[in-house]
Amino acid sequence: MNYFKTAILLAAMTALFSIVGLAIGGQTGMLIAFVIAIGMNFFSYWNADKMVLRMHGARQVDARSAPEYYGIIEELASNAGLPMPKVYIMENDQPNAFATGRNPEHAAVAATTGLLGMLTREEIAGVMAHELGHIKNRDILIMTLTATLAGAIGMLAQFGMFFGGRSSDGERTNPIVLIAMMFLAPMAAGLVQMAISRSREYQADRLGAQICGHPLWLANALKKISGMAAHIPNEAAEANPASAHMFIINPLSGQNMDNLFSTHPDTQNRINALVAMADEMGLGVERNMVETKIRLRPWDSEKDDPTVIPPRKPKGPWG
């Protein structure tokens, strides 16, 4: 089913790419844009993961260079019945993470230094289990291709704005059309991203909770990093907003139009769903925790915040 969704997505993004080409250069521009889009589809299938990792300055690590982090991924991947993905670290203070690749056999997970430094081992496990959930659901191909194609659409629209364009009869394109396309094309690409991302986050949350064995590990992590991410800028994500939907928490500051349409569901709703899942598993949570609003700030400590859900040790990957 995911292969069908991928085909629909690629068709939609290719059509959008062609429409931008039509607005910039008429029928000739549309044909050129269509050919470029087809070429990008093939190139992105094999190389989009490397492009996204490079965008965010990710470096690969192994059991020797990052033993604890690598060990967490190794244990979770075994728990999920997945091949061991490549493991990366991004030098970034914002706590965040994402998964990428074209299939479980060619997958990678990446976490920021901020996430690894601010969360407990259990919370890191919850976050990375969520990313492995994306891999197991085969979401990563769609998410990665969307990031590269949406970015290309935005660049094409800006190219038309700054360098102008001509229709097939040689006349210059109306500048108003170019200005409109500069704003509307990235917005349309963002809507496509939003349409495919929100439901996938809930699915990955639930599967990730099953993989790590405790929904509250991820609930606690989401509670912490959502507040911190809003206060700590992610310059790589701001420079490449088309990849924002890949992260577990929206990495954008919201100070520009790139964040007009959020690709992530409300964090409190995600926490509520995880708390309800913990109840279903008989892990025991106070009922009033469900209604607790997120208010943890980067300068608050977990000890000082009475609304942090206390993690309990279940029979999970840590014994």
Tell me if 270 is assigned to some domain: yes
Instruction: State the average pLDDT over residues 130-157.
Output: 75
Q: Say if 163 falls within a structural domain.
A: yes
Report the mean per-residue pLDDT for the chain: 75
pLDDT of residue 177: 55
Is residue 316 a part of any domain in this protein? no
For residues 275 and 209, give the distance between their C-alpha atoms in angstroms, rounded to a whole number: 11
Number of domains in the chain: 1
Token pair of 176 as six digits: 């108003």
Alpha helices (H) along 119-255: 121-136, 140-163, 175-212, 215-231, 235-239
SS3 category, 240: coil
Taking residues 109-119, what's their average pLDDT?
A: 97
**Looking at the domain assignment, is residue 310 inside a domain?**
no
- The string of pLDDT tens digits covering residues 143-152 is 666 666 666 6
Summarised one tens digit per residue, pLDDT across range 28-57 is: 766 766 677 667 666 666 777 898 899 999
> Which is it for strands 107-112 and 86-90: parallel, antiparallel or unpaired?
parallel
Query: Above 60 in pLDDT, residue 318?
Result: no
Residue 27 CA to chain centroid, in angstroms? Answer: 35
Name which residue leads in pLDDT, 7 or 305: 7
Q: Is the pLDDT of residue 257 over 70?
A: no
Confidence (pTM): 0.72
Task: Please tell me the distance from the alpha carbon of residue 106 to that of residue 212, in angstroms, as a whole number.
Answer: 22
Within 10 A of 283 (CB to CB), how many other CB atoms are there? 16
HSE value, Cβ hemisphere, 13 Å, CA-based, for 173: 28
Of the candidates 68, 131, 286, 291, the residue annotated as catalytic is 131
The pLDDT of residue 256: 47
pLDDT at 303: 43
Report the SS3 class of residue 99: strand
- The answer to the question of residue 308 being in a domain is no
Q: What is the pLDDT of residues 77-105, one digit of tens each?
A: 999 999 999 999 999 999 999 999 989 99
Judged against a pLDDT cut of 70, whether residue 255 lies above it is answered with no
For residue 296, is it within any domain? no
Helix then strand count (H, E) for the chain reads 9, 4
Q: Which residue has the tokens 């965008």?
A: 55
Task: Name the 3-class secondary structure at 247.
Answer: strand
Q: Is 122 one of the annotated active-site residues of the chain?
A: no
User: Is residue 250, in this structure, part of any structural domain at all?
Assistant: yes
Q: Are 246 and 193 a contacting pair, CB within 8 Å?
A: no
CB contact set of 188 (below 8 Å; sequence gap of 6+): 16, 153
In this structure, is residue 317 part of a structural domain? Answer: no
Q: The tokens of 146 are what?
A: 């969307």
pLDDT at residue 310 tops 60: no
CB-based contacts of 3, cutoff 8 Å, min separation 6: none
Query: What is the domain extent for residue 59?
Result: 2-291
